[in-house]
Every structure is written in structure tokens, then in C-alpha cells.
Amino acid sequence: MFTLLVSVCINYVCGLLCGKKEAKHKRIVLSIGIALNVLILFFYKYLGFFVKILSIIFSFQNPQIKVLLPIGISFYTFQGMSYLIDVYRTPEIKQKNFCYLLLYIMFFPQLIAGPIVRYSDINKQFYNRDITLDKFIYGLERFIIGLSKKVLIANVLSEVSSYIFGLNYAKYTCFYAWIASVSYALQIYYDFSGYSDMAIGLGSMFGFTFEENFDYPYIASSFKEFWRRWHISLSSWFRDYVYIPLGGNRKGKSRTIFNVLFVFFLTGLWHGASWNFVLWGIINGVLVVLCDISGSKKRENKIHNKLFSIVVCLIKHVLTLVGIIVLWLLFDRSNVFLQVVLKMFGINFTSLGIFIQPYQKFVNTPLLKELLSIEFWLSFCFGIFFCFPWKRKLQFIILQDERVKIVCECTKYLILFVLLFFSVLSVANGAFNPFIYFRF
């Protein structure tokens, strides 16, 4: 709490100074404000990692610095910096009321795991917002959906993926490797998007409107599209405050490639002070650059055969999805990354070397039999099903007929009640299972 209050005070004072139109040293004040925000984030999140690197370079014993990481520090630090940059660009939106700035940065629904709310998007809502029954009901619906995503899908899938990843490499098959990997990909999506839904829902109950943070990312046909759909608030933050100020795509191909890779390097580092996060970010950046290059070539050679283009599109979807699933293992399962990926593609290794083993004896353990229950398969299938925008298509059909609309509305509220009942039941019976993004 102390760190959060210090961060708010720094941003408040620097914001007042940046907001003076006649100020001659606004750029210096902005630089100082951003530097102080980064320094706080560096101390808590990256100091130990930096000292470890220095100990390797200069060959001294790593002192093992351990600092408790404040929950959500990456989110509220970025919100503070966005406030300063927005005020620097548009001085008239500076916040003179300390309590309002405190509310912006400390607003509890999105404080600890996003979405990252821009000050320029929300500042007018402090003074003029409508708290209506419709917004409250919408917010309640989003909250129930988010809670259901977390406890009925993400939590159930996490049990299986964590158990399989914790097994000895030789104890599970190619089938189990895919089950665990796909489960983890679904888990991290429903865990994070579930929290975002809950934050958006709670915000709506209080009369605030937050931007969406996810747009069905697993239907993407390229990594570039994936990053337009995944964690939108973070992607747009880096685009507007880092990528575009660096020159974006306006300074030639080489500079554009550098800008993209640098942004994704920062994206990886933002997620955690570890080499696996850095590598994960850089690989994503390389894949986005390759998508740009292949996209420009494709515009030059348009495919006229419709069937062939459908097949190509399907292949792109599958390859992108497989790449995403594999990279999620590097993201947060780096200790078993190589073993699991090799196992997924039927490659096994022993003391005698590496060999292809696509078909293995179906191995099972008593606990795994118990985990792969009807509950798991329901969560797994529903998780895959709701990765697609069926809701939008259904809403379009419903709007065509008023009678169908009334029936569907009643059905919707019945389903929401059932989801809430089972979610509360699951929370009451389950162990503490925090959101994945709490630690970022």
C-alpha cells in the first residue's frame, strides 16, 4: 500500500507540473516522472534479476536479493505513466484533485490484474457518468461470466495441466502432453479474460466504462492478429507510448523491425524478470515481423482460387494456434518446456539418444484417471467452444425476431443463475487459487 501511495503522489506532483501550459521544462518533468515510476518497478521486480546478470558478467557471488513484489505493480505503474504522458500531450486534462487521481490508479476492480485503463479514456467519467439499472445489470452479467470462466473452466483445467507437468518425463504420453498443453493455453486465457470480465463488470456497476481487453484471441490466423486480440490494453499501451514515439513504421523497414522487436522485448520483460519471459517476448516479436513480411508479399500475389485460399487460411489458423500453445509453455512452464514439446510431437529421448516414438503405450496413473473426469472434459470442451465468437452470431440471429429475443433473454438469466450457483459452490469448496496475472 505504501508503494502504491508513493507512486500516486509522484504522478500527482509531476502531472501538475506537466499540465502547466507555460512551463518551459515539461519534457524534463515528464522524464523525471517516468524515470521514478520505472525506478520503483525496477526495484521491486527487476533488481534481483539485474544483480544476477551482473554476478555472471563480473564473476562475483550472487547475493540473492529478495524483495516482496507488490501485487499488480506492473499494472498501476503503467497507468501512472500513461497519465503523465497524456497530461504532457494534453495539458488541460491534468487532474488537480488528488482524490480523483487516487481513484484512477487505485480503483479496485482493475488494480491488481488489469485491464490497463488510460487516463485519457476515463477522466471525463470521474465527473459525468451514469449509474443506471441497465449498466448495473450488464455489469453483474459480465461479473458472473468472468467468475465462471475462472472457477468453472480455468481452475478445473489447471489441476490436470499442473499434475501432468509435474510428472516425470517418462510417465506420460504424447496424448497427455497435448492435453496438458492445450489445457494450460485455455487456463491462462480464461483465467486472465475472466478477471478482465469481472473488472469490466464491477466498473459498469459503478458507472464506469472500461475498454475490452480480449477479442477471441485463439481465432487468430497470425501472431500479428493474435496480439491485436490478446491483452489489448497492454498491446495498445506499448503501441501508443513506445512503438509510435520510436517512429513506428515511418522510418524504413529496418527501423520498423527494430521497433517491433524492442516492443516485444519490453512486453516479455513486463511479464516477469526471467530469461524465459524475455525469450518468449522476442520470439513473439520475430513471428509478428515474419507475419508483416509474408503479408506484404501476399498483397503482391493475391490468391484467386477460393478453395485454395480457404485451405491456406485453415492451415494458418492451425499453425498459429500450435505456435501459441507451444509458446505458452515457454511463458510459464519453462522448466519442462523442452520435454513437453518433444513429447507433444512424438519425440522421446533416453540415455541412448533421441528417437521418434509417435505411438506409445497408453500410460495412466490413479490420480490422473480421477482428474480426467466428466467435470474436466466438460470444462475442456466448453473452453474450446467458447473460444469462438458464437455469442455475436447468436445475438445477430436473435435480434431478427422479437419473440425469440424474449425467450432467449429468459434463458440467458436462467443460465447466469446456474453459473453463479456452481461458481459460488466451487469457490466455497475449493482451495485458494489466485489469478495467474496477480504476480505481474
437 located within any domain = no
Q: Are residues 138 and 89 in the same domain?
A: no
Question: Residue 272: inside a domain, yes or no?
Answer: yes
Number of domains in the chain: 2
Asked, for residue 114, whether it belongs to a domain, the answer is no
Residue 402 and residue 144: Cα distance in Å, rounded? 26
User: Is residue 231 in some structural domain?
Assistant: yes
Within this chain, do residues 175 and 225 fall inside the same structural domain, yes or no? yes
C-alpha–C-alpha distance, residues 11 and 101, integer Å: 9
Please name which of 435, 419, 437 lies closest in space to residue 155, comparing C-alpha atoms: 435
Instruction: Give the per-residue pLDDT at 143.
Output: 94
Neighbours of 232 (CB within 10 A): 20
Q: What is the pLDDT of residue 295?
A: 65
Full domain range(s) for residue 275: 133-429
Residues 142 and 276 in one domain: yes
What are 249's three cell numbers? Answer: 513504421
- The residues that are catalytic are 271
Based on the domain organization, do 217 and 361 belong to the same domain?
yes
Q: Identify whether residues 363 and 416 lie together within a single domain.
A: yes
> Is 68 found in the same domain as 204?
no
Note whether 97 and 188 are same-domain residues.
Answer: no
Question: In sequence order, which ranges of 246-274 are alpha helices (DSSP H)?
Answer: 253-271
Query: Is residue 112 included in any domain, yes or no?
Result: no
Radius of gyration of the chain (CA): 24
Last residue of a domain, one of 106, 141, 161: 106
Shared domain check, 365 and 223: yes
pLDDT at residue number 35: 93
Has residue 124 been placed in a domain? no
Contact of 155 with 433, CB cutoff 8 Å: yes
- Cα(385)–Cα(366) distance, integer angstroms: 28
Residue 434 resides in a domain: no
Q: Tell whether 245 is covered by a domain.
A: yes
> Are 137 and 101 contained in the same domain?
no
Distance CA(206)–CA(139), nearest Å, equals 9
CA-to-CA separations, 251 to 213, 236, 257, 378, 400, in angstroms, rounded: 30, 20, 10, 50, 49
Same domain, yes or no: 271 and 387: yes
pLDDT at 436: 67
Indicate if 146 and 46 belong to the same structural domain.
Answer: no
Please report, in tens digits, the pLDDT of each residue of the chain (440 residues total). 778 888 889 998 888 888 776 666 788 889 999 999 999 999 888 888 888 888 888 777 777 777 777 777 888 888 889 999 988 888 888 888 888 888 888 877 776 666 888 888 888 888 888 888 989 999 999 999 999 999 999 999 988 888 888 877 776 778 888 999 999 999 999 999 998 999 999 989 988 888 889 999 999 989 999 999 999 999 999 999 999 999 888 888 889 999 999 999 999 999 888 888 999 999 999 999 988 877 655 554 555 567 777 788 888 899 999 999 999 999 887 777 888 888 888 776 553 344 444 444 445 565 666 677 888 899 999 999 999 888 766 766 666 666 677 777 788 889 999 999 988 888 887 665 666 665 65
**Exposure of 163 in the CB half-sphere (CA atoms within 13 A):** 17
Would you give the DSSP letter of residue 349?
A: E
The pLDDT score that the predictor gives to residue 378 is 92
pLDDT of residue 46: 86
Do 146 and 96 share a structural domain?
Answer: no
Q: How far apart are CA 377 and CA 393, in angstroms?
A: 25
| Helix intervals (H) in 90-244 | 98-106, 119-122, 133-148, 155-166, 174-205, 223-229, 232-238
